[in-house]
Amino acid sequence: MNRAISLLIIEDDIEYVDIIRICLEEPDSMNLKFEIERADRLSLGLKLLDAARFDAVLLDLTLPDSRGLDTIKRLLDRGYDAPVIVMTNLGDESAAFEAMGLGAQDYLIKSTSDSRLLKRAIWYAIERHKLRSQAENLIKKAAEGMIVVDAAGKMRFVNASAEQIFGRAKEELLDKPFPEPLSPSLKRQARVVCPKGLEKTVDLRVTEIEWRGKPALLVSLTDITEVQRVEQLKAEVRERRRLDQLKDDLIGTVSHELRTPLTIVKGAIDNLKEGIVGPLQPKQREVVGLADRNLFRLTKMINNLLDLSRLESGQAAAHKKACKPKALVDDVVADFRAAGRAAKKQLTSNIEPDLPEVDADPELIAEVLLNLVDNAVRFAKSRAEVKASDVGSRGVLFEVIDDGPGIPPERMGGLFNKFVQVNRPKGGEGYKGTGLGLAICKEIMALHGATIRVECPESKGCRFSFALPRYGAPRQPSKPRSAEGAKP
């Protein structure tokens, strides 16, 4: 230490203080210098410690205003950052040992006047205090919760991180038993009960240490509550995905296996309708017609399931080529125009002239338009329209618009999910589908690196739209299956 050591001596015997001064001023190889302040009472010493910082304190245990171990307790309880060396009379070493147990760094027998011993004791006390302060500071500022537990199982030190884990101030924890049985080298998970019944999970580790001269246990706590919650959510997501995959595999397999018996049933119904097995009576023809209509509906459902299974499997590919937008729209409108007239609804097309060719798989885009027009005609009040327009660098925009009741805002988020149906009549003769059409549209557009969108202005009809790039423009990569297929 380059500067002089500031030393506070709390001693009422002035003659002994003079002896200490003489000893400390004797020259030797240690070459230490001291600046000494003296207080003849504990109360005065505490005032001096409040006013200035000292490197060390020499404390007599027998003072006019304080005697015995109460003297060291009163000083240490103030929390001064200075090592304390107690001074005691010959034959009273037991009191000195007890004082060290309370936190004193060392002790001196008053009858000793060895200057080197005195200087060395002060120097060692300062250095030990530095080391202890560094260790305590590391524990105090550690990101982990740190608690010192004494041999009796009581908490003697609690850092800020431990306060946060327990949800309690250190004043509520100090001198209380640690809530878990502890042993050296213990490593395990534990539960911490916080106020209002809140529980946290912590990784608990125990290390043997010496704390202020006495054996103790250092308990390290790491809050893993959120980590466990995230892992639990991940496990739930993995399990949900596994079950979804099982369901999709089952649906795909069953749908595929149903095709053969459906083909046989379809052939039998066609034979009956065409009179190959004999003429039908009017009532019989009515029943056969009912069977044929429901077989058509069932076939459409199964085809939808198989299409979606193929698209979601990642095995489907879009075989793109140059396509004329007008041809794509005209073919679909022609298919549905008769159905629109039968339902007393008008289906029109509005195609800008001289549209550029688009880069697309014509069969897949036709399926998208078929699903969208089917929905538009079904839900329209009086009219539906299919539009195609040039949107510059974006290519060609296709829109399917109806004047139906629209879609409630709260249903828009899941509109393109599987098995979702909106405005489907309950019971009766209403349309009964699978709710797969829009999910198929989303997957097909993802194969084209595009997005299908829906708008329902003030719930007055719907406008579904998607854009396809010009043929010859740089191709965009297909979006992964997990990508959002639509944004309201």
pLDDT at 459: 63
Whichever domain contains 194, its CATH number is 3.30.450.20
304, 440 Cβ separation under 8 angstroms: yes
The number of distinct structural domains making up the chain is 4
Do 344 and 440 have their domain in common? Answer: yes
Specify whether 33 is located in the same domain as 64.
Answer: yes
Same domain, 414 and 327: yes
Q: Has residue 110 been placed in a domain?
A: yes
Kindly state whether residues 268 and 375 are assigned to the same domain. Answer: no
Looking at the structure, do residues 61 and 135 belong to the same domain, yes or no?
Answer: yes
Does the residue 302 lie in any domain? yes
How far apart, in whole angstroms, are the C-alpha atoms of residue 460 and residue 406?
Answer: 5
Q: What is the pLDDT of residue 107?
A: 84
What is the pTM (predicted TM-score) of this model? 0.46
Assess whether 201 and 108 both reside in one domain.
no
- Whether 297 and 390 map to the same domain: the answer is no
Dist. CA 300–CA 473, nearest whole Å = 35
Q: CATH number of the domain at 407, please.
A: 3.30.565.10
* Positive or negative torsion for Cα 118, 120, 126, 131: negative
Tell me, yes or no, whether 488 lies in a domain. Answer: no
Domain shared by 463 and 329, yes or no: yes
pLDDT at residue 486 greater than cutoff 50: no
Is residue 479 assigned to a domain? no
Give 177's DSSP letter. Answer: B
Backbone φ, ψ for residue 381 (5° rounding): -80, -45
> Residue 205's domain spans which residues?
142-223
The verdict on 180 and 100 lying in the same domain is: no
Answer whether residue 403 is part of any domain: yes
Q: For 279-324, give the DSSP string.
A: ---HHHHHHHHHHHHHHHHHHHHHHHHHHHHHHHTT------EEE-
CA of 46: how far to CAs of 9, 58, 79, 95, 356, in Å? 11, 13, 11, 21, 93
3-state secondary structure of 219: strand
Please indicate, yes or no, whether residues 330 and 455 belong to a single structural domain of this protein.
Answer: yes
Q: Could you report the per-residue pLDDT of 116-137, keeping only the tens digit for each?
A: 888 888 898 888 888 777 777 7
Same domain, 304 and 345: no
404-442, pLDDT tens digit by residue?
Answer: 888 888 777 778 876 666 654 443 344 555 678 888 899
Last residue of a domain, one of 188, 223, 258: 223
Please state, for a pLDDT cut of 70, what percent of the chain lies above it.
87
| Same domain? 240 vs 214 | no
How would you classify residue 186: left for phi > 0, otherwise alpha for psi between -120 and 50, otherwise beta? Answer: beta
pLDDT digits (tens, 9 = 90+) for 33-71: 999 999 999 999 999 999 999 999 999 988 999 988 889
Residue-wise pLDDT for 441-476, tens only, equals 998 998 888 999 999 877 678 999 999 999 988 766
Residue 348 within a domain: yes
